[in-house]
Amino acid sequence: MREGIDLAALEKILASSGVKISPQDVDAVARSLARINHAAAGLFPSCVLDETAERFFRLLESDADDGTGP
């Protein structure tokens, strides 16, 4: 496994697509996928679930205070 990527499964997926691939190529693809995943994770700020719920309820309270809520 490379950073959560099962190399055997990745090799099987690539082979089933008709691509002839060497173990070095599978490793290179896995490294690229890991870099893409890392970059994508950096694009979105992590948000704690409790913090999200608090924001939601504050939004509901502010709507109720404005008279726009139910």
pLDDT score of 69:
46
The mean of the pLDDT values for the chain is 79
Greater model confidence, 60 or 18: 18
The neighbour count for residue 29, using CB atoms within 10 Å, is: 19
pLDDT score of 38:
84
Greater model confidence, 51 or 7: 7
pLDDT band at 57 (very low <50, low <70, confident <90, very high): confident
What pTM did the predictor assign? 0.56
Does residue 10 surpass a pLDDT of 80?
A: yes
The neighbour count for residue 34, using CB atoms within 10 Å, is: 14
Give the helix ranges, DSSP H, for 1-70: 7-16, 23-43, 49-66
